[in-house]
A and B are shown apart, each in its own frame.
Chain A
Amino acid sequence: MKRLLVRLALVSGWASLIFGLFPAAACWAAGHVNMDAARKEGKLTIYSSISLDDINTLARAFEKKYPWIKVTTYRAGKIKLAQRMLTEARAGKHTFDVLLSSAFTTLEMKAQNLLAKYQSPESAALPRELRDPQGFWSGAQINTMSVAYNTKLVRKEDVPRQWRDLLDPKWRGKLAINGNRPEWYIGLLQLMGEEEGRKYMRALADGKTIPIESATLADELLAAGEYPAFVNASPANTESEKKKGAPVDWANIDPLPAYPILVSVSANANFPNTARLMADFLISAEGQKVFADIPRIPARPGIEAKPAHLTKGVNIFYIDVNKMAGKGDDLEAEFRKTFRLR
């Protein structure tokens, strides 16, 4: 596996070098993008579930590379995002060209036939798990999930190394859980196997986990010392809290489940060529560096996360996105019920 990744990274490195030297070759490699048509289109709309500031940063970086394209953005949470796209589509109004969102929304849009098949040439550089075999999406960025802890309340030797460590009675009543990150539940169920996974989750919930309805609140209360640890935290967020001086850190548990943010092109895109260009850009080495600077963990191996130890020395378990298809709602409901979030 590792060797395959290294080889891929090498190939993509060469590829970008060659394309960098010969701009014409880059156009050819983009394959599906008709540059003349793209120039005529001159704009695109991206719908996204990642924050306004982040999607704006990506859009501006893209506009810097292609100054003749104007990008319009819209952002909403995964549910409302899906509702808006579906309602628009049913009324025959097509507004979005590119979708950048978590797998839940993307899979639902794929099921509703709102996405186009588009295998970006850049996607060859991505790990196998972040490419859709059918070509409807590519991973643009990943979110790992781990246990975050308050360094004033948890001793170094008590930091968990395995997911099983959390079942130790010493954690009873001390673990917060964020009800809005079902990906963690889904990831561990895939990792442990459904039956084992469910058993584990029930045991964890029996240890009086503290339900919290928001990732932000869970992170902040952890920093303030309301509880010692938070089981489905985002290491990237913990790192930014740490940078601000908060007494928090995250555990490098083996392995850390990760869910991707996916990029897709609309089946009814008004501006299909600029849309493909955007998809290419987001997973290109250049676009991936923009993700890393935000900071978000890039999907592409070889582009370092900031800080690097978010992925370096971490055993990442990629959630199999297509296995979630059609089951997202039920698994989320199951997760919330198990941890008394209703």
Chain B
Amino acid sequence: MFLILAATVGLVAYLALTPLLTLVYYSLTDAPPGAFGALTLANYAKAYFDPEFYPLLWNTTRFALASSALAFVLGTYLAWICERTNAPFRGWVSTFVLILFIIPGILETVAWILLLSPQIGLVNLALRWLTRDPDFAFNVYSFAGMVWCEAMGLYPLVFLLMSAAFRSQDVAMEEASLACGASNFTTLRRITLRLVTPAMLSVFLIVFIRAVEAFEVPALIGVRAEFFVFTTKIYSALQRLRPQYGIAGAYAMVLLLISVAGLSLYYRMTKAAEKYATITGKSYRPRRVDLGGWRYLAGATALLITGATTLLPVINLIWSSLTPYMSAPSREMVSRLSWRSYQQLFSFPFAQQAFWNSVILSFSSATAVMLVTSCIAWITVKSKMPGRLLIDNLAFIPIAIPGIVMGISILVLYLTVPIPIYGTLWILFVAYMTKYLPYGIRAASASMIQISKELEEASVASGAGWLQTFRKILLPLLMPGFVAGWVYIAVISLRELSTSILLYTQDTIVLSILVFDLWDSGRYSSVSALGVLMVLFLILVTWIARKVGARIGSIEH
């Protein structure tokens, strides 16, 4: 037991400390990567005495709070409907939501521009026609437009993690509440949501940090809305032939601070961990709430939300993949529809190789991250090991490290130490594992906290070893959170670009490089076609993951 735990702790520390120490070192020196320089605080002075910085930080805060709040409300509402009520169309909703995940960020943002631009936005054109008001417009190039687009990219994550939390919830307390005469709504507010506090906090923290780090929406929409965020400072420090890693590092400390402060808050609010344990020795059965006549309204709103937020961009994507250039649907364009971009895609050099490399990396890194973080979650939630919160922090901080810094630190490390993984898929695997530890640890901890200690104790009392208990009791009970985290990591790793592009070679090319390359060389239809194929692939994978997850979960119960 100690051997396994020590190994995972060691691994996490190794993975997380590499980029962290690099970042801290850069921020304190004037030397370029791979070289040594004198220590200095000049980077911090330059970064934080810059009068432009504070208004930008304020913008970031507004933007991140608004978009994560919107994503949070939407995602939690949909998760509750799908997991805990008897509303119709639930199955549809849970499939649709995930689609938004896999669409490459750039395409999703472009899709919203095409839908909501005041000049050519299809939604605006339709609404103008309906309202007969020629000036009617939702303006995507505005604060609200940016918040909307960002929230659309984030709420599937909320949905996924909250669904897992709701799924592992015991219904006994809710029944007690209903028996005492509380209404459905009161029960939801005072029992159901209170019990998933750890999951809600975890999810909000991740989504908030992701919004702070957002890139595509501020770049493609923010620039036109003249709304700038502080990550543009990091970007412009790095987007130079002689990147100012020191300045970028100094700015990235803000992200680090938010992460660490957010985690401390989380611990403080979930201190009495046993309080949230609803999976106990008694048989637990998450049961659905009967909404009565309200269920149609609930089902309809859920379907409307997912329909508007998923189907619109997806239809847009399909349309773009079939047309030769960007255009609004018209009779003339319908006559020009063709499969050409799909054909071009299949004949594209490296396409097959990129696909297989991406699949291998996505499955292996998702599995490895979830296994490792499940162990770490056990340490932080169940054990009394000293320094356990430090380990949790370590696993979480890679979220604060800019992609290019992560890439450079890994590049430098494996070019210098005699571990021969440079130029192989292993180096990408190491990068992905590091990058996705934060998501794994939050998903795993939020699930671990729901499992009561008495189950383990019973297992150990019956003579099982720790490993056996972990494998046969904890892992199956963790399954909803495990699968949610796994699916999320597997999917977003297909989109990882900023680190991969520094580490790939001709033989280890991945899909995201292809997306970037097609986009960058102006092949909008082909990128859209690739996006459509990725959506189809995602639907297949989540379907399999759910089947497998459900089977493991049900057999072992």
Bound CA span A315–B523, Å: 28
**Distance of A140 from chain B, by nearest CB (Å):** 17
Contact (Cβ within 8 A) A342 B241: no
**Distance of A213 from chain B, by nearest CB (Å):** 5
Contact (Cβ within 8 A) B522 A78: no
By beta carbon, the residue of chain A nearest B509 is: A52
Contact (Cβ within 8 A) B522 A216: yes
Contact (Cβ within 8 A) B502 A84: yes
Bound CA span A283–B114, Å: 41
Contact (Cβ within 8 A) A87 B241: no
Does chain A have a CB within 8 A of B223? yes
Does chain A have a CB within 8 A of B475? no
Contacts of A88 in B (CB 8 A): 411, 415
Bound CA span A207–B8, Å: 59
Contacts of A211 in B (CB 8 A): 223-224
CB contacts under 8 Å to A, within B433-451, are: none
**Distance of A151 from chain B, by nearest CB (Å):** 13
Contacts of B504 in A (CB 8 A): 74
**Distance of B126 from chain A, by nearest CB (Å):** 16
Contact (Cβ within 8 A) A74 B416: no
Contact (Cβ within 8 A) B502 A336: no
By beta carbon, the residue of chain B nearest A222 is: B326
Does chain B have a CB within 8 A of A183? no
CB contacts under 8 Å to B, within A318-332, are: 328-329, 332
CB contacts under 8 Å to A, within B228-253, are: 228, 232, 236, 238-243
Contacts of B416 in A (CB 8 A): 91
Does chain A have a CB within 8 A of B378? no
Contact (Cβ within 8 A) B404 A224: no
Contact (Cβ within 8 A) B412 A91: yes
Contact (Cβ within 8 A) A73 B506: yes
Query: Interface code A211-255, partner B: CB below 8 Å = 1, 0 otherwise?
Result: 111111101110111110000000001001100111000000000
Contact (Cβ within 8 A) B325 A223: yes
By beta carbon, the residue of chain B nearest A332 is: B240
Contact (Cβ within 8 A) B501 A80: yes
Contact (Cβ within 8 A) B120 A78: no
CB contacts under 8 Å to A, within B322-360, are: 324-328, 336, 348-350
Contacts of B307 in A (CB 8 A): none
Does chain A have a CB within 8 A of B422? yes
Bound CA span A268–B242, Å: 21
Contact (Cβ within 8 A) B223 A217: no
CB contacts under 8 Å to A, within B480-528, are: 501-502, 504-506, 513-514, 517, 519-524
Does chain B have a CB within 8 A of A76? yes
Query: Interface code B102-121, partner A: CB below 8 Å = 1, 0 otherwise?
Result: 00001000100110010110
Bound CA span A56–B354, Å: 15
**Distance of A221 from chain B, by nearest CB (Å):** 7
Contacts of B117 in A (CB 8 A): 226
Q: Which residue of B110, B228, B240, B350 has the most chain A CB atoms within 10 A of its CB atom?
A: B240
Contact (Cβ within 8 A) B114 A224: yes
Does chain A have a CB within 8 A of B35? yes
Contact (Cβ within 8 A) B411 A84: yes
Does chain B have a CB within 8 A of A79? yes
Choose among B226, B241, B326, B517 the residue that contacts A82 (Cβ–Cβ < 8 A): B241
Does chain B have a CB within 8 A of A90? yes
Interface of A is mostly: helix
Does chain A have a CB within 8 A of B305? no
Does chain B have a CB within 8 A of A51? yes
Contacts of A132 in B (CB 8 A): none
**Distance of B271 from chain A, by nearest CB (Å):** 42
Contacts of B110 in A (CB 8 A): 217, 220
Contact (Cβ within 8 A) B521 A76: no
Contacts of B226 in A (CB 8 A): 340
Does chain B have a CB within 8 A of A333? yes
Query: Interface code B405-424, partner A: CB below 8 Å = 1, 0 otherwise?
Result: 00010011001100000100
Contacts of B325 in A (CB 8 A): 220, 223-224, 241, 244-246
Contact (Cβ within 8 A) B411 A87: yes
Contact (Cβ within 8 A) B411 A212: no
Query: Interface code B67-111, partner A: CB below 8 Å = 1, 0 otherwise?
Result: 000000000000000000000000000000000000000100010
Contacts of B415 in A (CB 8 A): 87-88, 91, 93
Bound CA span A204–B110, Å: 26
With A84-B502, A225-B119, A241-B325 in contact, do A53 and B517 touch (Cβ < 8 Å)?
Answer: yes
Does chain B have a CB within 8 A of A83? yes
Choose among A52, A73, A342 the residue that contacts B232 (Cβ–Cβ < 8 A): A342
Contacts of A237 in B (CB 8 A): 522
Does chain B have a CB within 8 A of A77? yes
Bound CA span A51–B526, Å: 14
Does chain B have a CB within 8 A of A179? yes
Contact (Cβ within 8 A) B524 A336: no
Contact (Cβ within 8 A) B243 A79: yes
A-B pairs with the 4 shortest C-beta distances? Answer: A91-B415, A51-B521, A244-B324, A90-B34
* Contact surface of B with A, Cβ cutoff 8 Å: 32-35, 106, 110, 113-114, 117, 119-120, 219-220, 223-224, 226, 228, 232, 236, 238-243, 324-328, 336, 348-350, 404, 408, 411-412, 415-416, 422, 501-502, 504-506, 513-514, 517, 519-524
Given contacts A214-B220, A216-B519, 7 further A-B contacts (CB under 8 A): A79-B239, A79-B241, A216-B523, A217-B110, A224-B327, A342-B228, A342-B236
* Contact surface of A with B, Cβ cutoff 8 Å: 51-54, 56, 72-80, 82-84, 86-88, 90-91, 93, 104-105, 108, 179, 210-217, 219-221, 223-227, 237, 240-241, 244-246, 328-329, 332-333, 336, 340-342
Q: Give 10 pairs: A residue, B residue, CB < 8 Å, sorted on A.
A: A51-B517, A52-B521, A56-B350, A83-B408, A88-B411, A90-B34, A212-B223, A219-B522, A237-B522, A329-B240
